Structure 1
Amino acid sequence: MLENNTSAGRRSAVITGVLLIAGLVTGILSVVPVIDGADYLVEASIHENQVLIGAFFQLLMVAAYVGIPIFLYPILSKHNKGLALGSAAFGIIAGVFIIIGVIILLLLLTVSHEFAKAGTLNVSYFQTLGGLLREGRDLVNHVATTLAFVFAMLLYNCIFYQTKLVPQWLSVLGLIGSTLSILASLLFMIRFIGLDSTYMMLNFPIAIQQLVLAISLIIKGFNRVEKDSVSK
C-alpha cells in the first residue's frame, strides 16, 4: 500500500510539473500579435493562420490550467481539503474564461473578414465593434483568467508553505509572485498600467516560480512530508 501511494504521489508530481511547463509554453504560443496591433481589423483576416494557431494553443491552455490543481488535489486535500478544493475550483473557472477568450478571438477574426468585404462602408461600425471585442478579450485574458488561475496558485502554494511538500523558499516565491500577479491584473483592470513592461515585470516572479516548481516536481517529486502523510 505504501509503495502504491508513493508511486501515485510521484506520478502526480510529474504530471503536475509537465502541465506547469505546458501552461507556460502554450501561453507564449497563444499570443496573437496581429490582434494587438493598430491595424488589427485589416491584419487579422490577412494573417488568419496566426489567429487560428493562437486560438488553438489558447485552447490547449485549458488542459494545463484546469489540470494542475486537479492533479494536485489528491495530494493537497490530505493536508487542507478546503484550500485544495478552492484551488481546483479556481482552476476550472480559469479554464472557462480561457474558452470565452478563444470565442472572442474567433469573433474578432470574423469581424476582420467582414470588414475586408465591406471596404470603406461602415468603417466606424466595425471599429467600434472590433474595439469592444478586443477590450473584452483583454479583460477576459489578463484580468478574469489570470486572477482565477493565480488564486488557484496562491491557494496551493499556501498548502506547500504549510506542509513543506516543496522547498519552502519555492512556496514563498509562489506566494509573492501570486500576489504581484494579482496586483498586475487589478492595475490593468483600472487602466493604471497597460500590457507593458510593468505588467510583464509584475508577472515575471510567478512565471519563474512555475518553471522552477515544474522542474523540481519532475526531478524530485514531493518532499518526504507528503509520503509520510500518505503512509498513515
Structure 2
Amino acid sequence: MLRKSTNAGRGSAVMTGVLLIVGLVTGILSVVPVIDGADYLVRASTNENQVLLGAFFQLLMIVSYVGIPILMYPILSKHHKGLALGSVAFGIIAGVFIMIGVIILLLLLSVSHEFAKAGTLHVSYFQTLGGLLREGRDLVNHVATTLAFVLAMLLFNHIFYQTRLVPRWLAGWGLIGSTLSILASLLFMIRFIGLDATYMMLNILIAFQQLVLAVWLIMKGFNPTDYELKWQKKG
C-alpha cells in the first residue's frame, strides 16, 4: 500500500515538474511584441501569424496553470485539504482569465485589420478602442491571471514548508517570491509601476523558484513525510 502511494506521488511530482517548465516556456513564447509597440494598430495585422502564435501559446498555459494544482491536490489534501482545494480553485480562476486574455488579443487583431481597411478615417476611434483593449489585456494578464496563479503557488508552497515535502529553503523561497509577485501585480494595478524593470525584478524570484522546484520534483520527487518514514522503519 505504501509502495503504491509512493509511486503515485513520484508520478505526480514528475508531471508537476514538467508542467511547471511548460508553464514557464509557454509564458515566454506567448509574448507578442507587436501588440506592445506604439504602432500596434498597423503592425498587428501585418504580423498576424505572430499574434496567432502568441494566442496559441497563451492557451497552452492553461494546461499548466490548471493542471499543476489538480495534480498536487491528492498529495496536498492529505496534509491540508482546505489549502489544497483553494490552490485548485485559484488555478481554475487563472485558466479562465487566460482565456479572457486570449479573446482580448484576438479582438486587438480584428481591430488592427479594420484599421488597415479604414486607412486615415476614424483614426481616433480605432486608437481609443485599441488602447482600451490593450489596457484590458494588460490588467487581465498581469493582474488577474498572475494574482490567481501566484496565490495557488503561495498556498501549496505554504503546505510544502509545513510538511517538508520539498526542502524548506525551496518552499520558503517560493513563499517570498509569491509575495513579491503579488506586490508587483498590485503596484501595477494602481499604476505605481508599469511593465518595467521594477515589475520584472519583483517577479524574477518566483520564476526562478518555479524552475528550481520543477527540476527538484523531476529529479528527486517529494520527500517522504514523517508518517511515511515511521511506516518505512516498521517495515
Structure 1 gap segments, 5+ residues each: none
Match of 2:20 in 1: 20
CA deviations over 1:137-169 (Å, ceiling 9, x no partner): 000000000000000000000000000000100
Query: For residues 178 and 19 of structure 1, what CA distance do their matches in structure 2 show?
Result: 18
Q: Secondary structure at the match of 1:224?
A: coil
Match of 1:203 in 2: 203
Change (3 A) 1:16 1:231: farther
Change (3 A) 1:56 1:78: same
Change (3 A) 1:150 1:160: same
Q: How does 1:48-197 map to 2 (within 5 A)?
A: 48-197=48-197
* 1:203 Cα deviation after fit: 0.1
Structure 2 gap segments, 5+ residues each: none
Change (3 A) 1:156 1:200: same
Give the alignment's TM-score, normalised by structure 2: 0.97
* 1:114 Cα deviation after fit: 0.3
Q: How does 1:24-39 map to 2 (within 5 A)?
A: 24-39=24-39
Q: Give aligned-pair identity as a percent.
A: 81
Query: For residues 126 and 229 of structure 1, what CA distance do their matches in structure 2 show?
Result: 64
* 1:4 Cα deviation after fit: 1.1
Matched AA of 1:21: I
Give the alignment's TM-score, normalised by structure 1: 0.98
Are the equivalent residues in 2 in contact too, given 1:86–1:155 (CA < 8 A)? yes
Query: For residues 191 and 70 of structure 1, what CA distance do their matches in structure 2 show?
Result: 33
Paired residues, what number?
232
Matched AA of 2:216: S
* 1:231 Cα deviation after fit: 6.4
CA deviations over 1:10-54 (Å, ceiling 9, x no partner): 000000000000000000000000000000000000000000000
CA deviations over 1:185-221 (Å, ceiling 9, x no partner): 0000011100000000000000010000000000000
Asked which structure has the greater RCO (Cα within 8 Å, sep 6+), the reply is: 1
Are the equivalent residues in 2 in contact too, given 1:87–1:155 (CA < 8 A)? yes
Are the equivalent residues in 2 in contact too, given 1:139–1:189 (CA < 8 A)? yes
Matched AA of 2:100: I
Matched AA of 1:219: M
